[in-house]
Structure 1
Amino acid sequence: MSGTPVLEAVGITKSYGRVRAVSDVSFDVRPGEILGVVGDNGAGKSTLMNVVSGAITPDRGHLLVAGRQLAPHTIAQARVAGIEMIYQDLGLSDNLSLVENVFLGREWTGGPPLLPILRKRAMRARTRTLLESLGIDLYDMDVLVEGLSGGQRQMVAIARALVADREPRVMVMDEPTAALGTTESRVVNDLIVRLRDRGYAVVVISHRIPELLELADRLLVMKGGRAVHHGPTRDLDVERCVQLIVRGADARERSAH
């Protein structure tokens, strides 16, 4: 894990009317690191990560990617900067094949500009190579996504993020195992670890505290739109996390005495 952050969020603030969804939150994540983000419903986790992904513009604060400030940006601009977000609903199309979903919106084409031709063979080969490199056992490139399990669908979404025009530096995953059983959750978490080991910075939003404590290198705990803890997971256990989620700054102050 490199000591230089690939992504830094500085003083991110976002309000909706009188409701402050995120209040002066700062955090960072490094290459080859998994950052877990945990908090109760309404804590501001998703809003914060939507700012990172370019889906939401903050009222105040800014992002740094590899030390360079990223101006107010769109999702497309965030992708150019190397930030990819995989949402909880995955955004897959059930009636398309595995390959078609991996390249959805990013199809490779050839031929004349006015009459482009899909490079199906190249996309199929790239998908197979990518899945094999990640240790994903999905061999039927033509299978419809509607026939895949929840864990397999999550893997397709991860592969789609990795096939971006510019290889991502940061992968943000919103509740990747929320709808999965124990076995499939373990498979997806193993894949997240492999992404980390390949040098990606991975941010995982989850309500599964024991799972995050085992998976993540560091944890960002949020309550009421604020960051109440940002540090190594070795400093925490389940009970401590729950205290921070419920009591926020009060829990920090009590632990200091």
Structure 2
Amino acid sequence: MTLQVSGVSKRYGAVQALDGVDLSVEAGEVVALVGDNGAGKSTLVKVVSGVITPDSGTLEFEGRTVRINRPHDAQALGISTVYQDLALCENLDVVGNLFLGSEERRWSLMRGIRMERRARDLLTSLDVRIRDISAPVAALSGGQRQSVAITRALLGEPRLVILDEPTAALGVEQTAQVLDLVKRLRDRGLAVMVISHNLADVRAVSDRIVVLRLGRNAGDFRTADTSQGAIVAAITGLEDPTWPQ
């Protein structure tokens, strides 16, 4: 098991954001985390990513109990998170964005050539098609920008990749490209956690769907064996869903 979250709770004043939440993700598996607004999805992602510290509960990563008190701790373990805002610099090209923050202080021509070669190799291995990687990111489509952000997350060779709303505001073709990229991450043996409101995208790419409702676990489903109605019922708390299969 790559990640095991057990009994994690987090309170903000009078608000119980998480209440004894469990979640697991295995290598070579895509787990979708879904739920209505305020269900606790973002809080759980922040716990795993080291942005916030839970009040109680345990985290295990690759078989050992770990403490993740800051984002650097998560990155050192091999946990990489791509947030919805992508955090790309639009005035920089693809290579510049991929290596932003990890450049050597002393620049050299050979250093630049090595970075460009590595960027091309990684993009090719993920079947990310960008005609001109020297173009500024501002000139790329939404799907291409998302692909650049995901590719950047792989530079540290993580074992778990967390994607926050990776298809939000994308068109049909761009969404398909990003979902294909998520599948390729799984094929590389990575553990992948996807947070999304789009159930169609979730069902297209995930192996399991974990539902949170009001800060608690509301269901853990094998995607292939579960109807859309069952997922909607878990999200909304309905007893007898009439949602189409």
Q: TM-score, normalised by structure 2?
A: 0.94
> Residue 120 of structure 2 aligns with which residue?
128
1:208 paired with 2:198, answer: yes
What is the distance in 1 between the residues matched to 2:2 and 2:123?
25
Give the match for residue 225 of structure 1.
215
* Aligned position for 1:68: 64
Which secondary structure does the structure 2 equivalent of 1:242 belong to? helix
Aligned residues: 239
The amino acid of 1:196's aligned partner reads: R
The partner residue of 1:156 within 137, 144, 148 is 148
Shift of 1:231: 2.8
For 1:231 and 1:74, the matched residues in 2 are separated by 30
Offset of 1:59 from its aligned partner?
0.7
Q: Give aligned-pair identity as a percent.
A: 45
Matches of 1:190 and 1:140, distance apart in 2:
21
Paired amino acid for 2:127 = G
Shift of 1:34: 0.3
CA deviations on 1:149-169 (whole Å, 9 max, x unpaired) are: 1000000001110112xx100
8 Å Cα contact 2:49-2:68 kept in structure 1 = no
How many Å apart are 1:72 and its aligned residue? 3.5
Aligned to 2:209, the other structure's residue is in SS state strand
Note if 1:168 corresponds to 2:158: yes
Deviation of 1:139 (Å): 3.5
Q: CA deviation at 1:224?
A: 0.4
Q: Which residue pairs with 2:94 in the alignment?
A: 98
Taking the aligned partners of 2:68 and 2:188, their CA distance within structure 1 comes to: 29
Q: Which runs of 4+ in 1 moved over 6 A?
A: none
Report the counterpart of residue 112 of structure 1 in structure 2. Answer: none
* Shift, 1:242, TM fit: 1.1
User: Secondary structure, in 3 states, of the residue corresponding to 1:171?
Assistant: strand
Q: Corresponding residue for 2:186?
A: 196
Tell me how far 1:200 sits from its aligned partner: 0.6
Which residue type is aligned with residue 64 of structure 1? E
Separation of aligned partners in 1, 2:102 and 2:217: 35
Q: Give structure 1 stretches of 5+ with no counterpart.
A: 110-114, 253-257
In the TM superposition, what is the alpha-carbon distance from 1:251 to its structure 2 partner?
6.6
Partner of 2:31: 35
Residue number in structure 1 paired with 2:8:
12
TM-score relative to the length of structure 1: 0.89
Matched residue type, 2:26: R
User: Any gaps of 5 or more consecutive residues in structure 2?
Assistant: none
